[in-house]
Amino acid sequence: MAPVIAVDLDEVLGDFVSPLCSFHNEKYGTRLKRADFFSYRFCEVWGGNDVQATEKVHDFFKTPYFKNQPVIPGAQEALPKLRGLGFELVVVTSRQFKIAQDTRMWLEHNFPKGTFKDVAFGNHWGLEGHKVTKKELCQKLGASLLIDDSLSYIQEVSQCGIKGLLFDLDGKYPWNKTSELPVGVTRVHSWDQVVDRVQGI
């Protein structure tokens, strides 16, 4: 069997925060930018509580800002290289079940058919339905490596022996800064670095 790499979606394959800022700025008169997101718990960035933040994000899901989410630079070029190295790719996202169809459509629009063997949803901020951890998703799919921008998810999977690449585009993701990384985890600043690191595994 081919080794499996699990790939996060938001901030790894697609830029979620930038269009979210555009939506929020237009609707609420703010001036948010990516650099303001010291946390990926959005209520800590723009105020309110988790329930209110989740409702705002669900409003965002209904807009063209979300549906036209840009691709992270380098992702479209790097994924075929990883497949060429003999790896199978699966998308492992904390996204809600509610937007599963929109998510699959976005992936199909931006990446060639067959790029991903599977797409798995954690439903972490879903308003209903059960939630599944990234660790559980990765174990179920047999992943030996997770590429993710979330330090907490990387730490979670590292506890069960899954290696991690902490994605930090151009070193400008303030929400995943830390002075220490778990054993088996490497910070990467681009998709070119991802390919280089995977080649060395």
Predicted TM-score of the model (pTM): 0.95
Residue identified by tokens 């036209």 is 68
Q: Which pLDDT value is given to residue 1?
A: 81
What is the DSSP code string of 77-116?
A: HHHHHHHHTT-EEEEEE---GGGHHHHHHHHHHHS-TTS-
Task: Check whether residue 102 and residue 156 sit in a common domain.
Answer: yes
Q: For position 127, what pLDDT does the model report?
A: 65
Per-residue pLDDT tens for 105-161? 999 999 999 999 999 999 987 667 789 999 999 999 999 999 999 999 999 999 999
Specify whether the CB–CB gap between 90 and 4 falls below 8 A: yes
Instruction: Please give the pLDDT value at position 136.
Output: 97
pLDDT digits (tens, 9 = 90+) for 185-198: 999 999 999 999 99
Instruction: Kindly list the catalytic residues.
Output: 8, 10
| Phi, psi of 89, deg, nearest 5 | -115, 135
Of 71-75, 89-93, 121-125, 159-163, least confident by mean pLDDT is: 121-125
Q: Specify whether 178 is located in the same domain as 194.
A: yes
Residues 178 and 188 in one domain: yes
pLDDT of residue 179: 83
The proportion of the chain whose per-residue pLDDT surpasses 90, expressed as a percent, equals: 92
| Rg from Cα positions in the chain | 16
Where in the sequence is the domain holding 118, given as residue range(s)? 4-15+70-199
CB 8 within 8 A of CB 150: yes
In this structure, are 79 and 44 located in the same domain? no
- Domain of residue 192, CATH code: 3.40.50.1000
